[in-house]
Structure 1
C-alpha cells in the first residue's frame, strides 16, 4: 500500500493555480477547530458516532423540493404521512403483549435493571408512548398529476398547540430562573400545556429543549429550587440520562451499553448512575434490553462442585423508546418482506436477465427468487439497479427507484433514458414517503408497487427505514443498493451496514469499476490504500498549503479562476467540501470568502442576496443545493433541484446556509463536475476513511485537494474506518431470520 501523496502535481502549477489573486479574509468567529457540533455526551459514554454528528447541525424540520399543494407544504405532507405510518407501527407493537425475553440469567446491576424493566412491562408504571396520535394525512398525488400552483412557504412541522397563557407562564419561570425568555415558545412547544408548572416542579425538564446543556439546566434549577438541590436530585439523574441517550442518537447510536452510560453519568456528577438508570427506566423514559453476545464463549455459572449450568453472555443496552420501536419494527417488516414473496410468480425473470446487460443479470436473477436483496457498488454500479427497474417494468411490474437526493434521482433517470420530470419511476425517498412522488398508496395505506429499489441505502437512518419497510405491501420486493464505503446516515442507526453484517438475504457485489483517475483513486481509498494515480489530464491535483488562511486563499483561486480556466468548468459547477462548519477554513469562512468574490452583497435578506448559492436543509441529514431568487413578506424564495421553495423568515437561520462550501455529509447523494476538497491542518483529528472516500467521490471530472494535513490523510485512509455505532438491529434480524450462506 502506498502512502505517497495522491497527486500528479505536488507543486502549484501555473496552468491551474494563479498567484495573482487574493481571497476574502477568513471568518473570525472565535471558534477553534474545524468541527462546529460534537456529541459530547455520547463520546463521554465511550461510544461516539460518525462524522454526521460532528459536522452537521440539526437545521430544520421542513420538507424540500418541488411545488407544494395549496395550503399544505411538502414537508408537512411527509411528516404527516410518516406519523400515520408510525401510528400503524405502534398499533402492531401494542398487539405483542409478551415481555422482552431475557435469554440468560443476570446478577448485580444488570439484574436490578432487568427487574426495573419487568416492573414496567407488568404495568406498574406505564411506558410513555413516543409517537402521538396525528390526524390522518390526505393522500398526495404524484407531482405530474398535480395542477401547477404558486409555491407555498415551507413551514416547520406543527407543534402541539399551546395557549398564550402557557407561553407566558413558561416565560415567567424562565426569567425567574435566569434563563433567556426568548426560549419560552420553544419550551412551551416541547413540554406542552402546563409547561410553566412543570418547569417549576422539575426544572431539569429544560434539558428536553434542543441546545440546552446540563450545566445550564443545573443553574436554572438552583435559581428556582434553591442551592440545596444538588447533583443527587433524582429528577436530575433522570433528565441527564435521557439527555445522554439523545446525544448518543445524534452521534448515530440507537442505544448505549450500560457501563459506558453509567460512566458518562458519573462524569456529569450523577452520584449514583445505576440508580439514575433504574429510575429512568421505571418512569418509562427509557427502555432496557439484553442482546446475546454470539461471539462470546459460554459462561459456567454453577457453583464449584455442582453440575455445570452454561449461559451465553449478554450485553445490557439502554435506549429511547422511539429508536427501540423503530428497530423492532424494521426487523419485523424486513422479515415480512423476506417471507411474503409469492411462489407463483408469472413474471419471466429468466428472459429479463438474459436480455439485460451482463453486469445487471446477476442482480435480476437474485431478485427473481428473493423478497429482499442487497446490492453494493460505486457510482458506475448504479447502472445495475437502473437496469433492474427497466427490466421489471418491461415485465409489467410496478417498479420504482428511490434515491437520497433529487440530484441522485436525476442521474438514475438518465440511466433509464427518462426525463426526471416526466417519469415517476424515479423518486426520492422523502417524496415517496410523503406521497408527492411515485405511486401513492393503496386502500390499505401501503405503497402501490411491486418492486422498490432504494439507492444510496447507507443514508437510511433507522426511523426512515422502518417507515419505508412497513409501507411495503405483502409480496413486494425490496432491493437496497449502495456504496458501503460512504459515510453512514446523519440520523441514528446503520441500517445498510447492519443488514450486510447479518447476512439474512442475498448480497450482490457489483464488478463495475468507477472509471478514470478519480474512480481509481476513490476505489483504492475504499480498501484503505491512498495510491498515486496517473492523471494526464490533471483530473486529480494536490495543492499543498501551510495554514488555514492559505487554504482559504488557494480554494478561492481554484474555484474562481484556475478550474474554470483549465477545465472549462464554471464556478457554479464546482463544489467546495470541508470537514466542518467552524474554524478558520470551515464552511463559514470559505463561504464568506467565496461570496465576496462571486456574489458580493450586503446580505439584506437574513444574510443572503439574490444569486447566492445556498444549501437548504429541510430535515437533518437531507440537503438540497440551490440558489436564492428573491425575498418578500412570505420568506426567502429559493430554487432547489429545479423547483421553487419558500422558506418562512423565522426558518431561514435554521434551514438555509450558503452553499459554495459544504461538509461531506451535506454533499452525500450529490455529484458535481468539479470538487475542491479542503483539508486544513486542524482537520487532521476528524478525518476518517469514509469521510475521505465520500468527499473525494463527489467529483465527476476534476478533483483538487487543498492539502494541509500532511501524513494525517494517508493515516486516516489506512487506519481509521467508520466509527462504531451501537445498534440492536443485527441481533433483531438474526432472531427474525436465520443467516443465509
Structure 2
C-alpha cells in the first residue's frame, strides 16, 4: 500500500473517531479503531473449562448435515472435508457457503486456489478475481496465516502485497473492503514514547498535537486479546507501587511487605534468587529471564511465598516442565554453585510428580485454565492464588496470556519467567519480549549459568557464538555426514546403539530433533527408520502399533511425547507424561504423529537425558539462532549433532535471528504507562492546588 493510501486510511479512521464522519461515509464504511474494552466479569469454573483454553477443536462428535456434503460434491470439493467445514462454519455451513463460496477458506486446510475452484463451479462467470467476497476472505486468510507466524496484526501494505500475489485487481481497495465488511479492524498506534502532547496549542486554545502513528490491520480476536492482556498487566502491575516505577529490584523490596520477605530473600540459595524474591516483594508484576538453571530461582520464590502463608504456584508450558518444577520444589535448596545441576535420572515417575505438583504448587498453564489441575478458583471464578510464577513465558501466546491475566484476582503477584533464547509461542504474540521492551515492570536477569559442557555450548549460542567446548565424558559429540541419507543412518545408529552403549542412556530417553517434517531427513523419514529399528510392526492401529513413540499435539504449540498403549473403537490409547489419553478416531490423523523424531517447535518446553539433533544439508534455510538454541538445549546430559549443514550452522548462530513479530502489546503497555503517569501527575497537581 502506498504512503498516500495509508495516509488516506489513517485520516478516515481519525474522522470517524472524532465524529466528523460516519463509518458509512468513507472507504465503503471501514470500521474505526476500537477503544480498549472494559475488563469483563471473570467466568466461573465451568465456563472457563468449557472455553477450552487451548484444548483444541473437535473435542466432541460433529453432526454433518446432508446438505453440506451435497454442496461440497456440487462444488467438486472433497466430501471428506465436510466435518471440518461444519466444525468451522457451524451446522448452517451449507447456507453460508451457498451465499459466499469463498468462506471455504475459513477451513485451515483449504488453499486459495481450491476455494477459487469451488466458487467458480458454483457461481460460474460471476466468480471474478475482484469479487468482494473473495477479497475479504483472502484478507482474513492472510491475517490468519500471519498469526501462524506469530503476528497479531499486519501493516496495510503487507496485506496489499499478499493480495497482489493472489491476482486481486486492486489490493488497496480490497483492504478497505475488508475493513468495511467488519471482517478486520484498523488500529493507529503511537510510534513515540515521549510525554503526552499538550492539550493546548501554542496560542493557548484547545487542540491536539499531531503524533506519528503506525497503522495496522488485524482480526478482532487477537486485537481484543492483546488489549485485554495490556489491561490485565496494568492492573497487576499497579498492585504494589506503580508500573515501571521501580528502578531496581532492591528498591522495590524496600517498599514491599516487610520483614517476612526480607528474611526469605536473605535465606535464598543464590544471589539471583535473592534478587527475584526482593523484586516480587515490592512489585505486583516482575519479569525474570535465564536458562534451565534459573528455574531454581523461581522455585525458591514460590517456596518463600508459601513459607509466608501465601497461595503460591508455578505454572509451566508442558507436563515435563511441570514435573521438573515439582522436583525443584520438593528438593532442598541448592547453592549458586550447584543450582540446576541435579541429575534427574531415576527420579519419580510422572504420575507421582503430578501428585507432588498438586502438593507443592506446580501445574501447567493449560491445566490451570481448563481447571483440571492447579489451585482451583474462588467463588468469583478467579484463581485461588496470591502469587503466580509462569515459567516458559516465551511460549505464552497473546490469547492464552490474556485468559491467564483475566483469571488472576486483584492483589495477586505475577512473575513471568523464561529463557529469551528459545523459539517463541506457536500462536500470535510475543508477550515476554514485548513486556520487557516496554520496560513496564522490574526485571531480573539470572546470573546462574547452566552447568556442564551442554550448558556452556548453549550459553554461547545465546549470544551468537558457536564455541568448541571440552567434553571429557562425551557430553557433546559432533557426527559429520555427507548427505541426508547418511544422516538418517547415523541417527538410527546413535539412538539404537551408540548412546545406550557408551553413556548408558536407553533409547527411550533419547530424543531426535530435526528442522522439519518433510525432506529426506525430516521427522517422517526419521520416524519411519527409527520405527523399523526400534519397534517394527504393521501399523495395525491406523499406522501405529503398541509401543510406538508418538508426539501428541491436542492444540497448536502443545506437544506431549508418549507411547501407544492400545486402540479400540473409542480411539487410540496413549501413555503421555504418566497419564492415559484417549484420542478419538477422527482426531488421530491431525493430533498424533510418530515421535521418535520431532521438530524443535514441538520439543520446546521438554528436556530429555540425551538429544540427537539432525542438521541435514537440505534444511539449512530453516536454521536460526533461536532454532539451534532450542534444539541443543533440550539435552540434559548428552547432545549428539548429526551435522550435514556445513558453514550454515555457524552462520545461523552468528547472524540468523528469527523474524520480528508484528504485535501491538508493546505500544499498548507504553500507552498504559504514560496514561498512569499523567493521572499521577494530575493527582499531584490537584493536591498541591490550594483551592483543591
1:322 match: 221
2:10 match: 110
Q: Deviations over 1:687-708 (max 9, x none)?
A: 0000000000011111100000
1:659 match: 595
SS at match of 1:138: helix
- Pairing 1:357–2:257 present: no
SS at match of 1:631: strand
Query: Structure 1 length as normaliser, TM-score?
Result: 0.78
- Pairing 1:348–2:246 present: no
- Pairing 1:589–2:589 present: no
**Structure 1 residues 120, 558: closer, same or farther in 2, change over 3 A?**
farther
Q: How does 1:201-220 map to 2 (within 5 A)?
A: 201-220=99-118
Q: How does 1:378-389 map to 2 (within 5 A)?
A: 378-389=291-302
**Alignment partner for residue 650 of structure 1, among 569, 573, 586?**
586
- Pairing 1:267–2:165 present: yes
SS at match of 1:396: coil
What is the CA-CA distance between 1:681 and the residue it aligns to? 0.4
Q: How does 1:132-531 map to 2 (within 5 A)?
A: 138=46, 156-157=57-58, 167-294=65-192, 311-341=210-240, 345=257, 348-359=260-271, 360-417=273-330, 419-424=353-358, 425-531=361-467
**Structure 1 residues 599, 312: closer, same or farther in 2, change over 3 A?**
same
Cα pair 1:255 1:320 within 8 Å, conserved: yes
**Structure 1 residues 616, 380: closer, same or farther in 2, change over 3 A?**
same
**Structure 1 residues 679, 525: closer, same or farther in 2, change over 3 A?**
same
Structure 1: which 5+ residue stretches go unaligned? 1-44, 46-104, 142-153, 299-307
What is the CA-CA distance between 1:214 and the residue it aligns to? 1.2
Q: Deviations over 1:448-480 (max 9, x none)?
A: 110000000000000000000111000000000
Cα distance in 2, alignment partners of residues 127 and 315 from structure 1: 15
Cα pair 1:499 1:730 within 8 Å, conserved: yes
Cα distance in 2, alignment partners of residues 140 and 277 from structure 1: 35
Q: CA RMSD in A?
A: 3.1
Cα distance in 2, alignment partners of residues 136 and 184 from structure 1: 34
Cα distance in 2, alignment partners of residues 465 and 248 from structure 1: 19
SS at match of 1:478: strand
Cα distance in 1, alignment partners of residues 618 and 491 from structure 2: 16
**Structure 1 residues 196, 206: closer, same or farther in 2, change over 3 A?**
same
Cα distance in 2, alignment partners of residues 480 and 740 from structure 1: 22
1:101 match: none
Q: Deviations over 1:241-263 (max 9, x none)?
A: 11101111111100001111111
Q: Deviations over 1:305-362 (max 9, x none)?
A: xxx9973321110000000000000000000001134888477111111112133111
Structure 2: which 5+ residue stretches go unaligned? 50-54, 197-206, 242-254, 332-352, 678-692
Cα pair 1:676 1:706 within 8 Å, conserved: yes
Cα distance in 1, alignment partners of residues 24 and 388 from structure 2: 37
What is the CA-CA distance between 1:110 and the residue it aligns to? 3.3
What is the CA-CA distance between 1:556 and the residue it aligns to? 0.3
**Structure 1 residues 573, 106: closer, same or farther in 2, change over 3 A?**
closer
Cα pair 1:323 1:462 within 8 Å, conserved: yes
**Structure 1 residues 714, 623: closer, same or farther in 2, change over 3 A?**
same
Of stretches 365-374 and 207-216 in structure 1, the one that deviates more from structure 2 is 207-216
Cα pair 1:291 1:316 within 8 Å, conserved: yes
2:511 match: 575
Cα pair 2:551 2:594 within 8 Å, conserved: yes
SS at match of 2:540: coil
Q: Which stretches of structure 1, 4 residues or more, deviate above 6 A after TM superposition?
A: 121-130, 132-136, 159-162
- Pairing 1:687–2:601 present: no
Cα distance in 2, alignment partners of residues 257 and 177 from structure 1: 34
Pairs aligned (count): 614
**Alignment partner for residue 672 of structure 1, among 594, 602, 608?**
608
Cα pair 1:253 1:492 within 8 Å, conserved: yes
2:346 match: none
2:666 match: 730
Cα distance in 1, alignment partners of residues 24 and 486 from structure 2: 60
What is the CA-CA distance between 1:582 and the residue it aligns to? 0.7
1:547 match: 483
**Structure 1 residues 620, 116: closer, same or farther in 2, change over 3 A?**
farther
What is the CA-CA distance between 1:138 and the residue it aligns to? 2.8
SS at match of 2:613: strand
**Structure 1 residues 136, 179: closer, same or farther in 2, change over 3 A?**
farther
Cα pair 1:630 1:638 within 8 Å, conserved: yes
- Pairing 1:606–2:606 present: no
Cα pair 1:374 1:500 within 8 Å, conserved: yes
What is the CA-CA distance between 1:219 and the residue it aligns to? 1.1
Cα distance in 1, alignment partners of residues 285 and 425 from structure 2: 20
**Structure 1 residues 107, 409: closer, same or farther in 2, change over 3 A?**
closer
Cα pair 2:129 2:168 within 8 Å, conserved: yes
Cα pair 1:287 1:319 within 8 Å, conserved: yes
**Structure 1 residues 423, 705: closer, same or farther in 2, change over 3 A?**
closer
Q: Deviations over 1:90-116 (max 9, x none)?
A: xxxxxxxxxxxxxxx984343346668
Cα pair 2:496 2:534 within 8 Å, conserved: yes
**Alignment partner for residue 698 of structure 1, among 603, 621, 634?**
634
SS at match of 1:542: strand
Q: Deviations over 1:406-464 (max 9, x none)?
A: 11111111111165423420111111111111111111111011000000000000000
